[in-house]
């Protein structure tokens, strides 16, 4: 009972910590957004109606002053609070309040154009990043009050017409509430998922503490019985298995919220592409691309964690046939890039044919990816015997690698180029190294910038003990 209470308290503490981090991160995001909106509001006023005329007299239009001074007032306080007191309840409700007033100001500056009303819906979507649904209620009340008051006293400012139905504010408020229903549901679901993650983390830490205590007690006993080394080895194997299982479960649990985010983003992109301004289309495209890249990263992590757990028995394998299968998998990439792949006769080796296929596929795919522009890419695979090992080489004439990066490229998540230049997650060569090490060999590279690269990996002719599976 005491342990359960401790786990619940620890889970609650983890949740508060995670929730506070979300609040602070979103506060800072809105601080930047507020400043950007201020600048946009001034530009909008200068473009739409920079000057007013009264007979022969011209003067700066009141919209310009409204954008500068009223926009500055709406920006100053929430930005200050976001940086001085991030994470406070007052801060996020203040941001929700002023963000909706910013929507009202932008609608006014454009003369009530319907396109500007979408700023309200976009703002609600951003406020949902807090995962705190009461913030949406504050924002909705501000929108409803603004449309009611301005629609009654100044309909041209909000609807773009001199006279409007006194009930039109209910129509606009209804659409806002319609979006709120979905956003509130997402916030509640996201909050529950955060609580589940924190509960699992608390249970895991308690298990780790209990495991540490048992290891300490068991070690004392094993030292007396002269069996410490054997028992430690067994515990290490089990701990590695548990860590791999934890990595798989953690990555798998990320898939569900990611699928939901990706689905909604794709739905927004499909329904509203071209209906909003160019910036909105671009932002939606960035979000969809980010979700796709995150999904690819999670899948690569899962593949990395499965290398040790899903390996097969090492048996005599025709490495040349395995290479042909890998090249068949890469057929489309080879044809699209115009790459010429050649290979010498390759020897039979003792290996896991599935992992060996993945190894060839990653190395050849790496050569295809990092090719030079306007130069026909050539890749050649060969093998030779050296000191009781088979040493394979994959040589290309691509962009090459500087010597100081040789060790870094085999470390997980270490990338030499941004994803915008060369796509990828920085896991491919880490997978190669892990596969080669599981076969009792090692992998290295020889290269110079601009002259291509040659990746080498060795496989023992006789599999060492402990690496048979």
DSSP string covering 252-302, please? HHHHHHHHHHHHHHHHHHHHHTTTS-HHHHHHHHHHHHHHHHHHHHHHHHH
Q: 134 pLDDT exceeds 50?
A: yes
Backbone angle region of 342, left / alpha / beta, with phi > 0 → left and psi within -120 to 50 → alpha: beta
Q: What is the pLDDT of residues 327-357, one digit of tens each?
A: 998 899 888 888 999 999 999 998 888 888 8
- Is the CB of residue 75 less than 8 Å from the CB of residue 30? no
Range with the poorest average pLDDT among 81-85, 138-142, 149-153, 177-181: 149-153
The alpha carbons of the chain give a radius of gyration, in whole angstroms, of 30
Residue 163 half-sphere exposure toward CB, CA atoms < 13 A: 0
Q: How far is CA 151 from CA 115, 163, 169, in A?
A: 17, 9, 7
Regarding beta strands 378-386 and 340-343, do their DSSP bridges make them parallel or antiparallel, or are they unpaired? parallel
State CA 202 to chain mean position distance.
24
Range with the poorest average pLDDT among 26-30, 63-67, 114-118: 63-67
Distance CA(187)–CA(287), nearest Å, equals 18
- CB atoms < 10 A from the CB of 119, how many? 23
Ordered alpha helix ranges (H), 49-113:
62-65, 71-84, 89-109
Q: Which pLDDT score, from 0 to 100, does residue 172 have? A: 81
Domain 315-460, CATH: 3.30.565.10
Q: Does the pTM exceed 0.75?
A: no
Q: How many residues does the chain have?
A: 469
User: CATH 3.30.565.10: which residues of the chain?
Assistant: 315-460
Q: 237 pLDDT exceeds 70?
A: no
Backbone angle region of 107, left / alpha / beta, with phi > 0 → left and psi within -120 to 50 → alpha: alpha
Q: How far is CA 229 from CA 216, 218, 238, 240, 390, in A?
A: 14, 12, 15, 17, 34
Q: 383 pLDDT exceeds 90?
A: yes
The CB-based long-range contact list for 142-146 (8 Å cut-off, 24+ gap) reads 142/96, 142/97, 142/100, 142/101, 142/104, 143/100, 143/103, 143/104, 143/172, 143/173, 143/176, 144/169, 144/173, 144/176, 146/100, 146/101, 146/104
State CA 315 to chain mean position distance.
39
**What residue has token string 């499909």?**
270
In the beta sheet, which residues pair with residue 453? 396, 447
Distance CA(319)–CA(66), nearest Å, equals 73
Q: What is the pLDDT of residues 190-224, one digit of tens each?
A: 888 888 888 888 888 787 777 877 878 777 777 66
Q: Which pLDDT score, from 0 to 100, does residue 263 have? A: 74
Q: Which residues, other chains included, contact 39 with Cβ-Cβ below 8 Å and sequence gap of 6+?
A: none
Q: 60 pLDDT exceeds 50?
A: no
Q: Which pLDDT score, from 0 to 100, does residue 59 have? A: 38
Mean pLDDT across 52-75: 53
Chain mean pLDDT for the chain = 76
Backbone angle region of 185, left / alpha / beta, with phi > 0 → left and psi within -120 to 50 → alpha: alpha
Q: Which pLDDT score, from 0 to 100, does residue 247 have? A: 58
Positive or negative CA dihedral for 423, 429, 432, 434? negative
What number of helices (H) and strands (E) belong to the chain?
A: 14, 9
| Element holding 359 (H helix, E strand) | helix 353-369
Q: 55 pLDDT exceeds 50?
A: no
């Amino acid at each position: 009972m005491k342990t359960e209470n401790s786990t619940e308290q620890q889970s609650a503490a983890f949740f508060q910590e995670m929730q506070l981090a979300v609040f602070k991160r979103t506060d800072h995001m809105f601080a930047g957004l507020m400043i950007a909106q201020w600048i946009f509001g001034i530009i909008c006023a200068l473009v739409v109606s920079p000057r007013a005329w009264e007979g022969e007299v011209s003067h700066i239009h009141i919209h310009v002053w409204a954008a500068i001074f009223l926009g500055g007032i709406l920006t100053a306080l929430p930005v200050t609070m976001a940086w001085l007191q991030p994470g406070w309840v007052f801060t996020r409700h203040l941001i929700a309040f002023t963000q909706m007033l910013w929507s009202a100001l932008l609608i006014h500056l454009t003369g009530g154009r319907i396109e500007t009303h979408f700023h309200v819906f976009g703002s609600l979507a951003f406020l949902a990043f807090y995962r705190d649904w009461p913030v949406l209620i504050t924002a909705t009340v501000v929108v409803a009050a603004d449309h009611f008051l301005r629609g009654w006293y100044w309909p041209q400012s909000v609807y773009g017409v001199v006279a409007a139905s006194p009930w039109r504010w209910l129509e606009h408020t209804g659409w806002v509430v319609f979006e709120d229903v979905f956003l509130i549901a997402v916030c509640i679901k996201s909050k529950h998922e955060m609580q589940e993650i924190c509960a699992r983390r608390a249970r895991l830490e308690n298990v780790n503490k209990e495991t540490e205590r048992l290891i300490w007690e068991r070690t004392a006993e094993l030292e007396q019985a002269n069996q410490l080394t054997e028992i430690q080895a067994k515990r290490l194997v089990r701990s590695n298995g548990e860590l791999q299982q934890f990595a798989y479960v953690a990555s798998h649990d990320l898939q569900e919220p990611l699928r939901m985010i990706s689905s909604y983003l794709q739905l927004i992109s499909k329904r509203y592409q071209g209906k909003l301004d160019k910036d909105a289309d671009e932002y939606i495209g960035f979000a969809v691309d980010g979700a796709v890249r995150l999904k690819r990263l999670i899948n690569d992590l899962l593949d990395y964690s499965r290398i040790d757990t899903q390996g097969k028995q090492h048996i005599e394998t025709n490495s040349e046939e395995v290479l042909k299968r890998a090249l068949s998998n890469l057929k489309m990439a080879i044809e699209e890039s115009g790459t010429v792949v050649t290979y010498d006769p390759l020897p039979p080796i003792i290996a896991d044919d599935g992992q060996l296929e993945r190894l060839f596929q990653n190395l050849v795919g790496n050569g295809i990816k990092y090719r030079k522009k306007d130069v026909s890419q050539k890749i050649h695979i060969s093998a030779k015997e050296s000191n009781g090992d088979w040493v394979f080489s994959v040589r290309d004439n691509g962009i090459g690698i500087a010597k100081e990066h040789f060790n870094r490229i085999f470390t997980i998540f270490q990338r030499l180029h941004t994803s915008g230049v060369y796509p990828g997650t920085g896991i491919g060569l880490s997978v190669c190294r892990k596969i080669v090490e599981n076969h009792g060999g090692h992998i290295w590279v020889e290269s110079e910038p601009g002259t291509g690269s040659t990746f080498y990996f060795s496989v023992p002719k006789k599999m060492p003990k402990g690496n048979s599976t």
